[in-house]
Amino acid sequence: MTVEEQVKQIIMEQLNVTEEECVPEAKFIDDLGADSLDLVELIMAMEDHFGLEISDDELAQISTIQDVIDYIASRQ
Amino acid sequence: MSSKKTIALVTGGSRGIGRAISVRLSDSGAFVFINYHHNEKAAAETLRIIRDKGGDGEICRFDVSDFTATQEAIRNIIEKKGTIDILVNNAAVSVDGLFVRATEQDWNDTIDTNLKGTFNCCRAVTRHMMKQRSGRIVNISSVVAEGGNAGQTLYSASKAGILGLTKSLARELGPRNIRVNAVAPGFIETDMTDSLSEENRAKIISQIPLSRPGTPEDVAGAVAFLVSMDADYITGQVIRVCGGIYT
């Protein structure tokens, strides 16, 4: 699986959303119905899956699915 | 109760109120990790009492005021048992004395164990409890957190901090089915209260509507209730176990 596919898979599981909803420009809070706790849990799941640590400052920069994909790609 | 064993951690579980809580949670069917810092013999005695009654547990040494050591110890519990369901933050020190003579060290010792220790343990279990969508945390405060007590300014401050922590954390973790409550004991007979003079003791008891000091078991009963299914809709609350002394 590509990074993009893996990220989408985690998002679908964590936020209980469909693949169709997981478009790159989808915003977690505005489009996917996540709250701040959901977002933190999502990031924790990403950290576990990709074996990295995302700081609070970096977390603040993340609002769309594409942001996550870009961030993880840049760290690999 | 489900077939899966409930896993509990009681900090400061070696003596006094912590021992009574450990035993009571074991009576309710939990596997209890009895945390202690200095007194291994007393912790082993708590475990012996639990085993004599047909329960089981393990003693587990770490200093709750040490963030890293606490994270590590709790991670070990989760790895070993696959989960942690109940956390009781009971470990506490009381450096009593008049405020005018209190030292910076007294303040640091009190806050580090009582308040930071509670933070450290909560912080170490929340990620796991969020993931499993369930958890129960009970923080042991004190009636002096709300009523104050001359000679216990530092202790009161640390115990009042625990109430704020409890109420905010209950709000934040409620959506993940993690309940966070506090128990505020009044005058309970333990080693901690042994140092009181007979005169002071009598004076305190004369102010208690139920006319007797509390026992560690009185406190343990409230904790057992809060972690039970009977309290499934209770979070962010403070139960005072004080014989009515709270003013």
Decide if B179 contacts B235 (C-beta within 8 A).
yes
pLDDT tens per residue across span B103-112: 999 999 999 9
Task: Quote the mean pLDDT of chain A.
Answer: 91
Closest CA to A5 of A75, A74, A72: A72
CA distance A43 to B115: 28
CA distance A52 to A46: 8
**Predicted complex ipTM:** 0.76
Any A CB within 8 A of B171 CB = no
Contact A35 B175 (CB under 8 A): yes
Any B CB within 8 A of A16 CB = no
What is the DSSP code (8-state) at residue B237?
-
- Which helix (H) or strand (E) element contains residue B46? helix B40-52
Which two structure tokens, joined as six digits, stand for A16?
Answer: 């209980």
Contact B130 A41 (CB under 8 A): yes
CA distance B169 to chain A (A): 12
Domains of chain A: 3-75 (1.10.1200.10)
Share of chain A above pLDDT 70, in %: 100
Find which of A14, A37, A43, A46 to mutate to test the B interface (most B CBs within 10 Å of its CB): A37
Contact A44 B176 (CB under 8 A): no
Q: Higher-confidence residue: B10 or A54? A: B10
Going across the sheet that includes B135-140, the strands are: B57-61, B30-36, B6-10, B86-89, B135-140, B178-185, B238-241
Any A CB within 8 A of B168 CB = no
B23 residue type, one letter: V
Task: Tell me which chain B residues have a C-beta less than 8 angstroms from the C-beta of A41.
Answer: 130-131
Instruction: Estimate the crossing angle of helix A36-50 against helix B117-132, to 10 degrees.
Output: 80
CA distance B133 to A37: 12
Q: How many helices (DSSP H) and strands (DSSP E) are in chain B?
A: 10, 7
Residue-level pLDDT at B4: 79
Average pLDDT on A54-73 reads 90
Q: What is the DSSP string of B96-155?
A: -S-GGG--HHHHHHHIIIIIIHHHHHHHHHHHHHHHHT-EEEEEE--THHHH--TT-HHH
pLDDT tens per residue across span A9-32: 999 999 999 999 999 999 999 999
Contact A37 B176 (CB under 8 A): yes
Q: What is the CA radius of gyration of chain B?
A: 17
Task: Tell me which chain B residues have a C-beta less than 8 angstroms from the C-beta of A13.
Answer: none
Decide if B240 contacts B184 (C-beta within 8 A).
yes
Closest CA to B17 of B214, B181, B167: B214
- What residue of B is the nearest CA neighbor of A37? B172
Task: Tell me which chain A residues have a C-beta less than 8 angstroms from the C-beta of B172.
Answer: 37
CA distance A38 to A49: 16
Which two structure tokens, joined as six digits, stand for B27?
Answer: 């009576």
Task: Tell me which chain A residues have a C-beta less than 8 angstroms from the C-beta of B130.
Answer: 37, 41
In the set A31, A35, A38, A56, the catalytic residue is A35
CA of residue B137 relative to chain centroid, distance: 9
Residue-level pLDDT at B194: 82
Residue-level pLDDT at B246: 65
Any A CB within 8 A of B130 CB = yes
pLDDT tens string, chain B, 247 residues long: the values are 445 799 999 999 999 999 999 999 999 999 999 999 999 999 999 999 999 999 999 999 999 999 999 999 999 999 999 999 999 999 999 998 999 999 999 999 999 999 999 999 999 999 999 999 999 999 999 999 999 999 999 999 999 999 999 999 999 999 999 999 999 999 999 887 788 888 988 998 999 999 999 999 999 999 999 999 999 999 999 999 999 986 5
pLDDT tens per residue across span A30-42: 999 999 899 999 9
Instruction: Estimate the crossing angle of helix B216-227 against helix B16-27, to 10 degrees.
Output: 50
CA distance B199 to A10: 65
Find which of A41, A43, A53, A54 to mutate to test the B interface (most B CBs within 10 Å of its CB): A41
Closest CA to B46 of B215, B38, B36: B36
What is the DSSP code (8-state) at residue B174?
G
- Whether A38 is catalytic is no
Residue-level pLDDT at A56: 84
